[in-house]
Structures are given as structure tokens and as C-alpha cells.
Amino acid sequence: MPFETKVIATCLSGEHNFSKPVVGHIELVAGQGIRGDAHCGVTVKHRSRVAKGPSQPNLRQVHLIHSELHAQLVAAGFKVGPGVMGENITTTGIDLLALPVGTILRLGSNAVIWITGLRNPCKQLDDYQDGLMKAVLGRDAAHNLIRKSGVMAIILEGGIVRAGDQILVELPPLPHAPLDKV
């Protein structure tokens, strides 16, 4: 059954910076990404992905982090908040990491995104604040790596997204595939 959560911040940067400033709204463009963001495009724009093959499809058009992660990191002594770890959308009220591949999120009145996988944390986290990369990684009982630094998505339908917008979550049909790095 679908349930709701909220956007608490929207962020973008036209340059390949680690952090993205909070802005009043972002415009999602179907099949491309966030208008004006450095990662907007049909093919990969993240520098590490471009180096591996610039013609790969862009499965990382939108980066989302749940504000509950920020709260955990702040409690552990890190200086983080919306946009600091490079996300476009900061959410509240949902465990993004528990969503399966193919989950659809309806943001605001028009925008629709499709969850593709987990953000793979990189050394830029430690460049920002020592120990941050380790803080967003963990191990489960079977010693499998757990990535906690948000999820990535592609845009199915464009629209304007603002802080305070509701998010409707639609799970894909069973069986669900767990998220993996993209």
C-alpha cells in the first residue's frame, strides 16, 4: 500500500562540487536530471563514471538522502545537513535504503522518479570531514557491505519540487530486488 513522506530540502549545483547549496525549488527534467545541476544528462555525468565510459546511461540523475541519516551523523559529531553530502533531495519519514529497486516516488504535483540503486560513497566524504566515509558504511550480520549515503534515481516525469512537498511511494510488484550500488 502506498504511503507518504515529505521533501525537507532541495539542492543543486551547476559545478562538480562535493556539496550542493539548498535552493527554493528544483526542476526535474524527464530522462535527464535536475535542470542546472552538473549531473544532469542522458549519459553519466559523475566524473568517476565518465572515466569508465562516457556513453553509459545516467542512472544517477537524482540523489536522495533521508534526513534521519543526517541526524545520526550529527549525533556522532559530523557537520552535515541538507545538500552537504551532495544530494538533490533531502527527505523525512521514510527509510530510503530499505526501498527495492524500481520503487516509484511521486514528488510534489507532477514529478515521478524511479529508484535505481544506492549511492556508492567515495573518498570525498573523508575530504569533507575525516571519518565520514566510515560513518556511512557498515556491515550486516553476514559481513556484507551496507551503504548508507542515500539512493539514486532516474526521472520518469518532470516537474517542480520544493521543501514541504509530499512524496507518494509506490513499491514495484513482487518479488522485490534489494538496492545495490549504481
Amino acid at 98: A
Q: What is the pLDDT along the chain (182 residues), one digit of tens a residue?
A: 345 599 999 999 999 988 999 999 999 999 999 999 999 999 887 777 777 878 889 999 999 999 999 999 999 999 999 999 999 999 999 999 999 999 999 999 899 999 999 998 888 999 999 999 999 999 999 999 999 999 999 999 999 999 999 999 999 999 999 999 99
Domain covering 3-31+62-170: architecture: Beta Barrel (2.40)
State residue 141's pLDDT score. Answer: 93
Looking at the DSSP assignment, which residues form a beta bridge with residue 114?
104, 154
Parse the chain into domains and list their residue ranges: 3-31+62-170
CA distances from 13 to 99, 151, 174, 180 (A): 26, 18, 36, 25
Separation between Cα atoms, residue 119 and residue 106, nearest integer Å: 20
Neighbours of 173 (CB within 10 A): 7
State residue 4's pLDDT score. Answer: 57
CB 137 within 8 A of CB 73: no
pTM: 0.93
State residue 1's pLDDT score. Answer: 39
